[in-house]
Structure formats: C-alpha cells, structure tokens
C-alpha cells in the first residue's frame, strides 16, 4: 500500500495486521482518484471509517487543505496516526469516534470518503445522517465504496445520488450536494 501521487508520492503506508481493517486496493484507489481528481485541491476532506487513513492521506498528498480522519477502533486510529507521520503531511486531524456521533458535531466538508467495513448493516443510516446533518458544502462530493451488489439509497434534495463505477467486486457510488436555485 502506497501513496500514488502528490507531495507524498511513493511513500509506503503501514498495513493493518489481521483482517479487521480492509484497505482499498491500489487499483480501486487509483480509479477513485481519477474520478475526483479536479475536486481535491484546497478542499476540506472527511475520511469516515478511516481504517488505515490511505484515502485521506492520498487527498492531502494531492493538495487537500485538511482532512479529518474518523474511526471508532483504537487500532485504526493508531494506524492512521502512524501513516500520517510516515507521509509527512500537514492538515490531518484524527478522531476516535463512532461515525454517527461524529457526524452530529456540525462540521462541513467538501469531500467525504465513506468506506466502512463491507459487512456494515447501517450503510443507509450513515448516508441518511450525512444528509440530515447536511455535512457537505455546496457542490460537495461523497464517495462511497461498497461491495458491487450493494444498492445505496436515493437521497433528498439538495443531495443527489450520482454515477456508480464497478471494479470487479467493488462499487464506487458518488453523491453530490447541489443548489438547484442556481
């Protein structure tokens, strides 16, 4: 596992021990960042269910202004801190918190990575909370990684479910926040 491009290009990131954390594969990560490549620089990012922190670290490496990393597992939080230090990137804050609790804090983001464990049963609830708490800024993007067979919910305006991209057994689904009065 490595940082693909940007300030920390080529830096190796520490991988988790055991199987409690499932890192995004390099192929899927590269495809994901090709999709959002023009929506990163200067943006405020949230890496929810951070795991190793690789998605947020990649965003920081590519010029994101800041990234909040959130995971409820103590081991994941320690791993994110280690990987941030190894990447020598600024602008990262790490929080040990349940996703739903963190979302209620009223923070706003331009880009949200939602990559929970594939067996998470509350995926619809988490997306619902993101919409309910309205955490995306105008024209913000939420990137969801799931198993290919998972169908994510439609959402209420000003949020919109966008394109889906399949990579073998993985699906990336994009959501955006639009102002329809423009």
Tokens of 3: 């940082």
Q: What is the pLDDT of residue 182?
A: 47
135: exposed, middle or buried (Cβ count in 10 Å: 0-12, 13-18, 19+): buried
**Where does the pLDDT of residue 58 fall: very low under 50, low under 70, confident under 90, or very high at 90 and above?**
very high
Residue 110 pLDDT > 90? yes
The mean predicted confidence, pLDDT, of the chain is 90
Averaged pLDDT, 68-78: 95
Query: Residue 61 pLDDT > 70, yes or no?
Result: yes
Residue pair 6/63 in contact by the 8 Å Cβ criterion: yes
Which band of pLDDT confidence, cut at 50, 70 and 90, is reported for residue 27?
Answer: confident
Tens of pLDDT, residues 39-55: 999 999 999 999 999 99
pLDDT at 160: 96
What's domain 26-177's superfamily in CATH? Vaccinia Virus protein VP39 (3.40.50.150)
Residues 6+ apart with CB under 8 A from 18: none
Looking at residues 134-145, what average pLDDT do you find?
95
Cα separation, 77 vs 133, whole angstroms: 24
Give the helix ranges, DSSP H, for the chain: 26-35, 54-61, 74-87, 99-103, 123-132
Q: Where are the domains positioned within the chain? A: 26-177
The predicted pLDDT at position 1 comes to 84
Tokens for 51, please give them. Answer: 């795991």
pTM for the predicted model, two decimal places: 0.93
């Amino acid at each position: 596992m490595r940082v693909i491009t940007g300030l920390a290009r080529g830096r190796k990131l520490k991988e988790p021990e055991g199987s409690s954390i499932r890192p995004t594969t390099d192929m899927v990560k590269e495809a994901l960042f090709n999709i959002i490549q023009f929506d990163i620089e200067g943006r405020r990012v949230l890496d929810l269910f951070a795991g190793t922190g690789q998605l947020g670290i990649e965003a920081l490496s590519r010029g994101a202004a800041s990234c909040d990393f959130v995971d409820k597992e103590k081991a994941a939080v320690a791993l994110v801190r280690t990987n941030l230090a190894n990447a020598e990137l600024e602008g990262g804050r790490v929080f040990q918190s349940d996703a739903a609790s963190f979302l209620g804090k009223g923070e706003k983001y331009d880009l949200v990575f939602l990559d929970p464990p594939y067996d998470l049963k509350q995926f619809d609830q988490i997306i619902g909370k993101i919409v309910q708490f309205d955490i995306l800024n105008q024209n913000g993007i939420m990137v969801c990684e799931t198993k290919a067979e998972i169908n994510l919910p439609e959402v209420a305006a000003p949020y919109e479910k966008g394109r889906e991209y399949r990579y073998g057994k993985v699906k990336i689904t994009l959501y955006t926040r639009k102002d329809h009065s423009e």
